[in-house]
Amino acid sequence: MMAERIGRLDMLEQQVLQVASVEGETFTAEVIARVLNQEPQAVLRLLSGELDRRHRLVAAQSIREQSGQRLSIYRFQHILFQRYVHGNLDVVERASLHQAVASALKNLYATGEAGISGQLAHHFQEAGTSSEAAGYLVQAGDRAAEVCAYREAIGHYQQAQQSYKQTLGEQWDPVERATLEGKIGEAYYRCAETGKAQAHLLQALGYLGHKFPASSTGVRLAIMRELFRQLGLRIRAAVFGQPMAKVATPVAQETIRLCRRLGWILGLLDLERALLIILWSANFAEREGYTAGMALGWSGL
């Protein structure tokens, strides 16, 4: 029955439905027009006329203003129509149309693409463009975190991690890798899962080349070491003067940011490890000439 109804359509009508099925159960007439290189008014007439009133396959839903232009939103009359059309696309057609739909959405939402970051990530993933998908997954995670949807944010961040690993492998920039790992740690902290939060933040610092002892004895020895380093820094400053402040490197900035997050968690769980993080980060910032980092480090005390 469904195959028969869709089989009655002409070539352009079928193409319109194919693009629509790729965008989803709800879709945008202007996206279809861009993908098929058609005039928007022609696509609107086709959707509201033949495909709605005559064949009862789609229905108009709403009008949306975006970036100073009007977007016409339609939906499939039944989710089964969308699934049938989408399922009948072969692998190559599907990937190509997902890429085209993603590009059209990016252009239409030029100043507001953050609002559809999850949608763009999905289309780029389906198109096989993992690197672009990963960037939008991070945006989607950030957006979810802003509205306190931390579980959703973790899911987006972890998907982004997988995409980056597949695409970049060992070429993945350690600062970017640490930043994403830190975001996962912070989201877990907001979910009150402090154990997981601590593990992810320590892993993030590890990507930047910083390892901390796991045993209590190791922590105490490390505290003594950092105290002696701080004493040495004070003696050097008294004799030679305080070194000139430098422009902080991205590694230094991310290191201090991660230490500050970790310090908040450890301050509630393990005061010895919290003290180690405070001393280590303050000493690290002073050696780097990162004065703002020193202030952040000592503020944890």
pLDDT at residue 166 greater than cutoff 80: yes
pLDDT at residue 151 greater than cutoff 80: yes
Please give the backbone phi and psi of residue 242, each rounded to the nearest 5 degrees, phi first.
Answer: -70, 130
3-state class (DSSP) for residue 226: helix
Q: For strands 26-28 and 69-76, give the pairing.
A: antiparallel
pLDDT tens-digit map of 94-128: 999 999 999 999 888 877 777 888 899 999 999 88
For residue 109, what pLDDT is reported?
Answer: 84
DSSP E strand boundaries for the chain: 26-28, 58-66, 69-76
For residue 132, what pLDDT is reported?
Answer: 86
Q: How far apart are CA 188 and CA 168, in angstroms?
A: 25
pTM score of the predicted model: 0.83
Q: How far is CA 240 from the centre of its chain?
A: 46
Identify the band that residue 1 occupies on the pLDDT scale cut at 50, 70 and 90. low
pLDDT at residue 222 greater than cutoff 80: yes
Q: How far apart are CA 86 and CA 58, in angstroms?
A: 14
